Amino acid sequence: MALVGVSFTAVADEGMWLLPYIKKMNSKDMKAHGCKLKAEDIYSAEKSSLKDAIVVFGGGCTGEIVSPEGLLFTNHHCGYSAIQKLSSVEHDYLKDGFWAQNNAEELPAEGLSVRFVRHIFDVTADIVGAIPSTAAQAEYEQMVAAAKQCLIADLEAKYPGMQIIVPSFFGDNQFFAFVYEVYPDVRLVGTPPSSIGKFGGDTDNWMWPRHTGDFSIFRVYAGKDNRPAAYSEENVPYKADKWLDISLKGIEEGDFGMIMGFPGSTERYMTSSEIDYMLEVDNPQRIYIRGERQKILREFMDADQAIRIKYDSKYAQSANYWKNSIGMSRGIEKLDVRAKKAAQEAAFQAWAEKNTLPEERFVDALSLIERSQTESRKENATIQYLSEAFMQSVELVQTVLGVRDIEQFYKDYDASADRAVAKRMFQIYRENNDLLPSIYAKIDSEFGGDSDKYVDWLYDNSKLTTYEDFLAVASLSEEEQQAAFQNDPATELAKSIIDLYRELAPAVQKTAPLYSEGHRLYIKGLMMMQPEKAWASDANFTIRLTYGNVLPYSPADGIVYNHYTTLDGVMAKEDPTNPVEFTVPERLKELYAKKDYGRYADKNGDLPVAFLVNCDITGGNSGSPVMNAKGQLIGLAFDGNWEAMSGDVAFEPDLQRTIAVDIRYVLFIIEKYAGANWLLNELTIK
């Protein structure tokens, strides 16, 4: 339980539910929705369950094991970075796809890992059980940190070799410990070309109707003892205790659907003052800065095939969050989310003043949050601009700030594109900020205020713009290396950015405890105020279950969207004037012309592509399995819908939908398009 005296009963559709409480909180409601499984089939602490087939894929996605030989399905966009790293102009797997025909042809994806959740423990009593209810925020945080440190040490001793995390829930009011087993040897097995896996590109992103075959296939490898092992030719496919069966029955409107995965972040307890900052500062700055960078990168990518391969993954990641921010602002404003939040806050404040003691500080919760938003508003805004415009956009700066894999960095780096981006970033930063890094003084005094001239000088004189120059410096003696890097103009630029960042940081750090305490008290108070309400914790990239039904929706008056799409829509969207986003491969056209869909056609003889289910997901759920009432795989979740982009802040039950690629389209591409039939022999197809 999150708090003593709080009852949990599930409401339809909304909720990213914690697995240990599925039996107590959700099983009855799930059955009413149509689920045929017992709670123990979904999650069990004692025996194998569906949970054991679900993995963290890479750093921010979900995957599912679909065979006893460690075969894994996830989204194409989740595997995109790994596919890009394996690609070259000679072997362009992004453009052409890739299909291994046996285990020996599977490609090691360097740096990619998957994590299995082995154990989950509610450790709330261990973490906060001894903290007085009147403890000040600093004392609360100190006691929480100390208790977590001891608990993690105990669990690491009990589960050697495992990864332990103890995240908080409900604003630091509840805590769970998660024990992960990390497998670092993951190999690419198959991927469709981007013309299938990324069909629709940025234009269709977050949109419905959707026609994207957003899937890729990997395999988990292990040592001969089936335990995690670094890549080795001696490793063997992971022997799975649990994998998902696949259903070809298809979906009908009203069918039960559930999704298990790792939703990354929601802010359902966001207040009106936080929304003000998001709409007025945070989202507008991100949208503008990323939009300017993406226009430049797009020009370079369209003009040069090698640059396209280098920047495809980076561009896609940036564009996804950019469009998300656009949709988020649009949804919050259109659906009047702020007014709804303000009404909830007014009710909370009245309850707190009438029913709680001053020393409990519930009456101060909202004012603490508001102060955190206003007292460091300018500093926060400037720090975001520094981060977006320089630290994230100008890659030359990253060579100084720190790069995890320097060889891979330069493999995916083009100095000419970065130079063009840097010129634009210097321009827009000065246009929109009066707190300038010290490098602008140099620009004014030595380059007549012309930042373009400075950028040209910077890239012409830095020894960090090519891998060869970097290696030449790295080959010097330690003393010479240090001098070379310290005297490099890129270091001078990075230092000026970091100096301003550090100058602004204390104001932000001063207000952070205000927010933490206000947020914790607000959530705790809300749950006390409405003990009968089903409260779900915000997403924090821990494993959750969400469930609902396959449903259409109406985005506006007079418009009703069907709950599925077919290959007919792919052909209708083909656009020779937009080859980046709406190209249809010739092989797919041939299969369409012959209606050669095999066992994957629906009852009307059409080939299904995607469908909708009203489950509650967010970023991190990408690649999550969509399962039917029997726990069989029917699709892969890959997106939300444009009309409900405010969902991370406020769930909209009438509008919110998960977009999933139909498993029948996935298998059709594997068998009919790619001819990789050997993979189907591993699957358990019902």
Nearest one of 163, 162, 179, 187 to 69, comparing CA atoms: 187
Q: Is there a contact between 17 and 23 (Cβ–Cβ < 8 Å)? A: no
Task: Look at residue 584 and give its three-state secondary structure.
Answer: coil
Q: Which of 649, 656, 536, 524 is nearest to 272 (CA)?
A: 649
Looking at residue 647, its amino acid is G
Q: Is 77 marked active-site? A: yes
User: In whole angstroms, what separates CA 471 from the centre of its chain?
Assistant: 34
Residue 265: partners with Cβ closer than 8 Å, 6 or more residues away: 538, 539, 540, 541, 618, 619, 620, 648
214 catalytically annotated: yes
User: Distance (Å, rounded) from C-alpha 677 to C-alpha 220?
Assistant: 19
Helix orientation angle between 76-86 and 305-334, rounded to the nearest 10 degrees: 160
Amino acid at residue number 552: P
User: Annotated catalytic residue: which of 622, 624, 639, 646?
Assistant: 622
Residue 390 in contact with residue 525, Cβ under 8 Å? no
Among 574, 584, 619, 606, smallest CA distance to 197 is for 584
Taking the chain, what is the end-to-end CA distance rounded to the nearest angstrom? 38
> Which secondary structure element, helix H or strand E, spans residue 559, and what is its range?
strand 559-561
Which residue in the list 92, 214, 418, 648 is annotated as catalytic? 214
Question: What residues contact residue 528 under an 8 Å CB cut-off, 6+ apart?
Answer: 3, 5, 6
Q: Is 654 helix (H, G, I), strand (E, B) or coil?
A: coil
Question: For residues 528 and 524, what is the distance between their CA atoms, to the nearest angstrom?
Answer: 6
CA 345, CA 340: separation in Å to the nearest integer? 9
Quote the DSSP letter at residue 106.
P
Report whether 189 contacts 217 (CB < 8 A).
yes
Distance between CA atoms of 296 and 66, rounded to whole angstroms? 41
Q: How many CB atoms lie within 10 A of CB 606?
A: 16
| Alpha carbon distance 657, 655 (integer Å) | 6
**Is 554 a catalytic site residue?**
no
Write down the catalytic residue from 33, 76, 77, 563: 77
- The answer to whether the beta carbons of residues 481 and 473 sit under 8 Å apart is yes
What positions carry a catalytic annotation? 77, 214, 622
